[in-house]
Amino acid sequence: MFSKVIDQLKKLKTDAKTEIDKLESELSTLKAERDLTARLPVPKDEFLARVDALGEPSEKFEAQLHAILKPLQSPRVTQPVNPLGLTEKTEVQAGVILSHFAPERGAVSHYAVNHLLAPLLRESLRAHAENMPYPEEVGLPAAQRAARLNELDREAAELEGRIASLREELAQAGVRI
């Protein structure tokens, strides 16, 4: 009779170990899929679309350009025109802006430089991107990737919770694995 109890305990321990190993295997598979999903590049057509979108003129540029040009169109200038976006803190010596190597983002000059150089930069990047070797194995598009990563994280958290609760139940029953 005592040997039956010991055999049942051994079977319980073996079954529990098998279940935990199965759950941990599923968890490692999920984590590997998550890592792969996070690190694979987006499909090439999405990548090229991103390159094409680099430096597109923004609404801010046009709005600020119109704000600059509007006083120049009227016969009386009521507000000072500052096309370079310089402030009182900006130091200018011999025509060189000392405090900025590039126009500050948000200044009209930033958008103007971006607007003028963007087509050249975009064409160069596009030519380089089209000619470079692109990996054969690609991941999900960015729009779907975030949702899939969240889903994998949720599934992994559920598995980790199931493993932890199973270990806790076994510990309460006095079974060590």
- Angle subtended by helix axes 142-172 and 2-39, to nearest 10: 160
- Give the mean pLDDT of 152-158: 96
Residues of the chain above pLDDT 90, percent: 25
Q: Which residue has the higher pLDDT, 76 or 35?
A: 35
Residue range 49-58, pLDDT digits in tens: 887 776 665 5
Checking if the pLDDT of 102 tops 50, the result is no
Q: Mean pLDDT over all residues of the chain?
A: 76
Q: pTM for this one?
A: 0.57
Average pLDDT over residues 52-67: 64
The domain locations on the chain are 1-40+139-177, 56-84+92-137
Which amino acid is residue 159, in one-letter code? L
Note the pLDDT of residue 99: 45
Three-class SS of residue 97?
strand
pLDDT value, residue 27? 95
- Of the candidates 86, 82, 113, 111, which has an alpha carbon nearest to the alpha carbon of residue 100? 86
- Better-scored residue on pLDDT, 84 or 21: 21
User: What pLDDT, on the 0 to 100 scale, is given for residue 23?
Assistant: 93
- Asked if pLDDT for residue 163 goes beyond 80, the answer is yes
Cα–Cα distance, 162 to 36 (Å, whole number): 24
pLDDT band at 95 (very low <50, low <70, confident <90, very high): very low
